[in-house]
Amino acid sequence: MPLITFEDTLACLEVEALADDRYTAPNIPMAYYRIFGGQLLAQTIAVATRSAAGKSVKSLHAAFPREGDLREPVEYDVAAIQDGRSFAARQVTARQGERVIASAMVSLHVDEAGLSHQIAAPDAGEPRAATLTDLTMIPWETRVVGGVDLGARDVGPADYAFWMRAPALPGDRHVHQALFAHASDLTLIGTTLRPHEGLCEADSPDRIQTAVTTHTLWFHRPFRLDEWMLVSQSSPVTAGARGFAQGHAFDGDGSLVASFAQESMIRRVK
């Protein structure tokens, strides 16, 4: 059973203006003290889009210097770095009191026609052939390709793929982007740990310490999260107590619509 509800996840995008260039939005309630990083990514997209009318998010690079406390409200400061005819840039800082818990540079762009090519979508079969799996922090339908279990501690390849589809959503592009950003934060550390025998993310914090340090998203094309989407991930390297993983998302027609990458701290507990 998911740890959060779809309704609460959607509600976290209900941004409230506190003052010029300062916003807040509700935390997603759950039985845990730490704010999920995906919530901060989703809300960053919501506030950046609100401050740059007529443009949609094309890329986001976020750093997470401190963990957030679910018991405290989050405030977002938005600084306009650039406003052009085609592109805009925003610096979004998430704070709890004096503590900065996330900082992101967001690039926005109007829709334009241009050159087009992409890699082919992986052969992952049909969504219904994948294994229906509860991915806890993704409160909509998720089906894992090949039935891979990120809770297993045996050695496996450093890759992971799943199909997902949310319930019906409004047409606002930023809602689909924000909820995708939320979901993109969940399974990358687990993917990174697959080649390491005897370890999985459930071993944190007793046997390992894990935390996301940076997360980057790129949106290539419009998409709908309430239609089937294939998320394909891999981890090319882990070194120096840092894991690195990346992923691509394809819509049901095989169009590459988004990419993402994450660096995380992974330390053995001595």
Rg (CA), the chain: 18
Residue 140 has pLDDT above 90, yes or no: yes
Q: What is the DSSP letter of 189?
A: H
Section 172-197 average pLDDT: 97
pLDDT value, residue 223: 98
Residue 1 has pLDDT above 80, yes or no: no
Residues contacting 33, CB < 8 A, separation 6+: 69, 70, 71
Residue 53 has pLDDT above 80, yes or no: yes
**d(Cα 129, Cα 204) in Å, to the nearest integer?**
31
Positive/negative CA dihedral, 32, 152, 154, 192: negative
**d(Cα 77, Cα 21) in Å, to the nearest integer?**
6
Q: Report residue 204's pLDDT band, with 50, 70 and 90 as the boundaries.
A: confident
Size (the chain), residues: 270
Domain 6-112+124-268 has CATH 2.130.10.10: no
pLDDT value, residue 201: 86
pLDDT, tens only, 86-113: 999 999 999 999 999 999 999 999 999 9
Q: Report residue 2's pLDDT band, with 50, 70 and 90 as the boundaries.
A: confident
Section 213-229 average pLDDT: 98
Rounded mean pLDDT of the chain?
Answer: 96
pLDDT value, residue 205: 87
pTM for this entry:
0.97
